[in-house]
Every structure is written in C-alpha cells, then in structure tokens.
Structure 1
Amino acid sequence: MKRGPQRSVDQKAVLDAALELIDAGGLTMRALATRVGLTPGALYTYFPDRAAIVTALTDRLLGEADLGLLEDEGRPPGERIAAFALNLREVLMRHPAAVPSILGAAFSGPVALRVGESLLAALPDPRAAYTVMVYVLGSIALEAAEIRGPGPVPPEAERIAARRVAFDIEPEAFPRTYAAADAIAAYISTGQFRWGLERVLAGLAAGK
C-alpha cells in the first residue's frame, strides 16, 4: 500500500501558529506555512484551505470555554446558558481579531456540534436557541470590533473610560443621547452583556 505524505509538524502547532497570525492581523496560507516551517503545498496535507483552518480554530476556541456550565442539569436552563455565554465571551475576547473569522466559519466541528446539542437540551425550540446564539455572538462581535488590533486587550474599565472620553456630541442637538452617555459607554461591559442576555432568556421563557 502506498503511504500518504508524512507530516512533520503537529496539527496543534499549525493551529497555534494560525491563531497567532490572526491575533497579529493576518492569516494566509503562505504566511502560515512559513511560520510552521512548511512549504505551502505541504500545508495542504493538514488543511485543504483557509476556511478549514478557521473552522478548526472555531472548534478549538469553543473547546476552551467550559461546556460543563451548559450541561449542568442541576441548574435551571437559563442559568446554564448565561454561565456558559459569559465564559465563552471571556474566551473569545482574548482573541478579538479572530472573532470576525469565527462568525463566518462553519460550525460543523465536533465541539461546535456538542455546543449546539447542549444548547438545544436547555432550549428545545431551535428558534429560541438560534436567538440566544445571535445575541451572544453578535454582542461579542461588536465588542471585539473596537479592540481587535494587535496587542493585549485593555481591561474593561479602561475601555469604558476611553469610550466615554471619546463620546463628544452636542447636548442641545441630541439631549437624550447625551444624557445616556454613561450607559452607552458601557455597552461593551460584562454588565451590559449579562443584562441583555437575561432579558432575552426571560422573554423566550415567557413566550413559551
């Protein structure tokens, strides 16, 4: 039997390098091959294209969140979902530059499928489960969009303060917006994320 091409780099090392490139602002197959010491052709023995790499990275990052929080049947469904969503937000906000790619990925890896299955166990109506995921991932995406440049993510309090300083509008022209400036600056906060998620879940529960 003819053997396939030998792999000289561990697949985990390839994904490590891919995540580093995304965090630094750009992932291409050529740059990734250079980073791990492979030719571009050899890299295709690991992943057929960039989309496959992003799908694998999506699964990997989902796997860094504590799925046990979502699967804890000793807690009410809403508490399980909220706990997992907050943990997932924490994981993804370590890699804000990767969030746009993740949102465009196929959620078809084993971890992604397990997350979907566990979410449906907590929210059996697939429309409700989809609504929650849209809120969670959409909120994370908006937050990540403000800070996805290279370098460490600033602490939340610093980001809120910077947003507030930059919030410069005419109070006479936009009085309601001006009065709500503090709340608007905190849109990127854990408190706002939790506030919205709790109300989404409460609305879904009330609509059964």
Structure 2
Amino acid sequence: MTQPRRRPGPKRALSESDVLDAALTLMDSGGPDAASIRRIAGELGVSPNAVYTYFPDKAAIEQALVERLLGELNRAAPAGGDWRADLEALAVDLRRRLTAHPGAVPLLLGGAMNGPQALHLGERLLDVLTRAGLPAERAARASYLVMVYVLGAIALEVADVPQAGALAPEADRIAARRAAMTRVPPEAYPRTAAAAEVMSTWVGTEQYLWGLRRVLDGLTPGPD
C-alpha cells in the first residue's frame, strides 16, 4: 500500500539575530576564525546563501556583533552621578561582557569602531570626562587613553588563556598563574620571583581597577 506523501513543514524563519547568535556561539567555542559563513550556516541548519541574505560577508557579521555587544553595554548604563564611579562601572561592565565572550575580543581590536553603538559609547565617555572638568580637547585625548587601557587590559587577560572557549572563573585563573609562577627560577629572575604573588593576580579585577584608577588619577584638570 502506497503511503501518502507528507507535506513539507514550514521553512525555518531566520533573522539577523539568529545569524549573530550562531556566530557568537562559534566564536565562544573556537575563537573568531571559527565563525565562517559556512560554519554559521551549518550551525543554523541552512545554506550559506541564507546567511548572505542578511550579511554580505563575514566582516559585516563581525561589525554587527561589535555593535550588539556595545549596544547591550550602552543599554545597561547607569544614570550620571560621580564621574569616577560611572567610568569605573562602565569599564567593569565592559570587561565582564567581553570576558564572557573572549572570542569576540579581537573584533574590537581589529576593526574600526565606528557604528552607532560604538559612537554612542564614545559620546558617553566624552560626557563623563567633561563632567570631570576636562576641556573638550583634553576629554577627547583622555577618552582614547581610557579605551586603550580598558581594551588592552581585557585583551591581555583573554590572551593569558591559550585555548579558545569561555574563561575559567577568575579565582581559578589566578591560581593557575600562581602555580606557574612557582616554576620561575629565582636565581635567574630574582625580581620576578619576588613579585610572583602580585603578578599572579594580573588577570583579576583588583589589578584591572588598580590600573584604571591610576589612569584616572592622571586625568584630573591641570596643565598638559
């Protein structure tokens, strides 16, 4: 007896957000190189042409991911108050979001941050630094300095873990660095060995804030 043919089910609806979710999942597990158009399509169970419907190339996907991550940061922004507290909160939140997706960190370092959300973040920085009493030119220079410190610190923190994927909890990463530092021969590197305990905490929040606060200390109004 001939079985009746089944009607095909509805095609899966796809959106820009689905493509970005898949790209971020691949980056989280394998780093930025893992999120090729073909692999993104495979993750979604569609053909590469379906991905091209939303993005012309991988670079456009990466730019959109940067915008998404920065948009989430901007939407979570606290109301204006003490400028230092606001800037520290912003820097800590950015670190938290980027270390949750270490594969996306190179995207912020390797491309122009000129989308609407990146510009909005820059405007927020200028606003905070203006509230600190800096004139316009100095605020502009200071905003660049702050971003260099913040993104550089995050990039080094992520690079400290050689394999791709999510970072281990901060306490575990510090413990691993501490164990590694015990293997430094003190007779060859006496100063490094003496500073081993502090150096083991370089990937921690305490060091991140220590450096940020030193940067901010140098930004108070005064002669250049």
With the length of structure 1 as denominator, give the TM-score of the two structures: 0.88
**1:47 aligned to 2:47?**
no
Which sections of structure 2, spanning at least 5 residues, go unmatched? 1-11, 130-135
> Counterpart of 2:168?
154
Structure 2 Cα separation of the partners of residues 79 and 179 of structure 1: 33
RMSD, matched Cα = 1.9
Aligned to 1:198, which of 213, 216, 222?
213
The one-letter code of the counterpart of 2:63 is T
> Counterpart of 1:185?
200
Identify the range of structure 1 (146-155 vs 111-120) with the bigger mean alpha-carbon deviation.
146-155
Change in Cα spacing, 1:174 to 1:148, as seen in structure 2 (3 Å) is: closer
Q: CA deviation at 1:146?
A: 2.2
The one-letter code of the counterpart of 2:218 is G
Q: CA deviation at 1:101?
A: 2.4
Q: CA deviation at 1:136?
A: 0.2
Q: CA deviation at 1:66?
A: 5.3
| Identical counterparts, % of pairs | 50
Equivalences for 1:85-124 in 2 at 5 Å?
Answer: 85-123=91-129, 124=136
Q: CA deviation at 1:145?
A: 1.2
Change in Cα spacing, 1:114 to 1:66, as seen in structure 2 (3 Å) is: closer
Change in Cα spacing, 1:194 to 1:57, as seen in structure 2 (3 Å) is: same
The one-letter code of the counterpart of 2:155 is A
Structure 1 Cα separation of the partners of residues 27 and 209 of structure 2: 28
**CA deviation digits over 1:17-56, x for unaligned, max 9?**
0000111211101111222233223322211111111111
Structure 2 Cα separation of the partners of residues 116 and 148 of structure 1: 31
**CA deviation digits over 1:72-121, x for unaligned, max 9?**
32x22222111110011011111112211232133122221111111111
> Counterpart of 2:4?
none
**Residue 67 of structure 2 contacts residue 117 of structure 2 at CA under 8 Å; is this kept in 1?**
yes
Which sections of structure 1, spanning at least 5 residues, go unmatched? 1-6
Structure 2 Cα separation of the partners of residues 9 and 131 of structure 1: 40
Identify the range of structure 1 (43-52 vs 82-91) with the bigger mean alpha-carbon deviation.
43-52
Q: Secondary structure at the match of 1:154?
A: coil
With the length of structure 2 as denominator, give the TM-score of the two structures: 0.82
> Counterpart of 2:64?
56
Structure 2 Cα separation of the partners of residues 41 and 102 of structure 1: 27
Larger radius of gyration: 2
**CA deviation digits over 1:159-207, x for unaligned, max 9?**
1011011112221222111110011110000000000001101111154
Structure 1 Cα separation of the partners of residues 221 and 162 of structure 2: 36
